[in-house]
Structure 1
């Protein structure tokens, strides 16, 4: 209770005696508590104890006991409870910047607004606008954050895939993964249902069998909408095409060994139990024998 207390020694002049008396006086920002001590004045009380100059006193002390919930920080300059007074108070990736003018956490506007978050130091101004992330698919940021690996265009996290290593019709999570510089990572479907994303070459760069069906779309990394060399998504998947191109076997003689929608297990040339897919013409099959034939309804037959 000694906080805010000042001692004043007064000379008492009484009849026939001299005496020293002590009087307790509260400093600015405090008021008597009725028990010989002092307590902090309410913010608008002005500190009416002795010696007060009528001001609000120490504003941070005045507001701090009542701060909590959505406004846990006491702004000592104005004596108000706020959400933040610095970026360190803003730990939500979607609201990492402190607008000190209003004491509120807001979306990031630059990498500097994410620096205090450690694991997510980059401000994504693209797909997830204003959110701090591990990486973005922009070239310089991707290589800085992920080294030789790619940045997942959807999750904005570094992957285990080395950039420039995914072949045509291979599954991908960013344009930078595609081996062909004219290819992009394009969302695909199978029988009208979403079916991942795969590296497809732009029609403008030239198409080759079996990629003779035009697919129009925007890449997962945001490359503008354009035409790509694709397949018949109603009857075929890129996974099935890759199994044939990669010469994958199906030892049991069952398509389930191929682990790909639309794949079948059949003869490919003189080789038994190979993963392939159904065809109605050679244009649907890859170039070069034995893959390019379609005599018995499957590529390579």
Structure 2
């Protein structure tokens, strides 16, 4: 399990803030819980990371390239994910964590906190979101939210999903006993992806991107105004260094499956077959590992990938080997 920690690159004026960040990082590591955070080496960010690392914990940072280039990034992390934009940063931090907690911080901390909490209400994830209160830091915010409830802008049931905790043990108890609320307007629409089916000697090519714990078919989400064919060619080129022949690509089938690590979310995956125009599959920009998966003994896979492996085992994949 991993907890995504939102906090700032400053210490704040109260020594209690840094002490609380250090205590949280150390305690999470001691409990075998990984830390996901913004990747910085200064302020409360650095305090959380340093304490967790010193206690032998896993710490994953996510930072836009522009900030890394300014030498703000922590250089001793278990892993540092370098992304291009702040939007990608928040999305990756949300994807990697199983829960969210906000230590004292500034505008950036509030932005990350409210996006995670809003996504929870909308059903885009079902993970707990909490305020880690130090010396009453979050009391004014809690009062403002209560005022929003009184004014009719927030339903009481959703207000209650943003908890306040004051210790690491209380945070872990909250996570252990968490029951997600129903999404405001039902389940969110399925995420559309375009993926490549590639089989050799009865084995299916799968990839695992950095920071993920499951294997997927090569490919990914469609960009705005991008066709599935354009998406699968772009993703496979970026992930594996392989150029797919656009004239040879054929849609094999589309399936819908639970999104890995995102309760309540579905993925709608369109699978393509097609020849390689150039290149041999090898780990690329985002891929940490690739495997040729045997359906008889599959690795840890996302649900959609397991469904494809089942089709391969049953001889139902509409493609020749190789």
TM-score if structure 1 supplies the norm length? 0.24
Structure with more relative contact order (C-alpha pairs < 8 Å, separation 6 or more): 2
Task: Output the TM-score relative to the length of structure 2.
Answer: 0.22
Bigger-Rg structure (1/2): 1
